[in-house]
Structure 1
């Protein structure tokens, strides 16, 4: 089985004046896309993810695509920050790693059966000191089904 679904990452209240982008590709060949500058409000990114596997034989679904990073089983999506997002004058530079874990076969099947649904996660955009949140999202609240137009 191979299906494509849309995932949405909502970055909650990232620090203003900093650019954030969704990382497409990996290594030196990556490019930040959907780049947005934070202005004190939530920002969101959407991208397609390919789901591979079979619920009968695979305990967990596999994920791939041009926005998916990392080795199995800990695949993730990167949000590029500051200089990594192409903002040359920024004092910030890094990535936020959004894990693709905790997504069940039941959830995937529900989303792929409707063109109106996406998988969504909401993650903090700022660290405790007010700087952009970098590294792996902690704590990670997981993925939930939402409407495409929500």
Structure 2
């Protein structure tokens, strides 16, 4: 079984005038999709990832937007020059972990197309620039209505 799972990432209060986007692919063959320039508002990214039965009782997230080893999957948000904004002083990526999504949550969303898996992530780091590295201080993933 391989099915699509709808996800929404809300990047809260990122610093202004910086490009952000979702990384599709890896290595030298990646592209940044859903690119947005930050302003005064939160940025919202909606797309689908793939999920399939894992070798154990849990699910395995996969597809062109999912990175990392099986037990530590994540999504990259490309920032500044990494997102193609060549005049940006920032070259960063933000890792959003998928590891805490339960099998029960996956079953619920696959059974109901009106649900989406959502997370809210701080957009600004302590240095005032775009948040980067593995996201810290976020509430994880939650099911919400579309």
The TM tier, using the shorter chain, reads over 0.9
1:74 counterpart residue number = 72
Runs of 5+ consecutive residues of structure 1 not aligned to the other structure: none
The 2-side partners of 1:115 and 1:101 are apart by 22
Q: Secondary structure at the match of 2:99?
A: coil
The 2-side partners of 1:140 and 1:132 are apart by 15
Q: TM-score, normalised by structure 1?
A: 0.93
1:41 counterpart residue number = 41
Q: Secondary structure at the match of 2:104?
A: helix
- How large is the RMSD of aligned CA atoms in angstroms? 1.2
Relative to 1, partners in 2 of residues 1:12 and 1:68: Cα closer, same or farther, differing over 3 Å? same
Runs of 5+ consecutive residues of structure 2 not aligned to the other structure: none
Does the 8 Å contact 1:101/1:142 carry over to 2? no
The 2-side partners of 1:53 and 1:114 are apart by 18
Matched, 1:146 2:138: no
Q: Secondary structure at the match of 1:73?
A: helix
**Matched pairs, number:** 146
2:88 counterpart residue number = 90
Q: Secondary structure at the match of 1:21?
A: strand
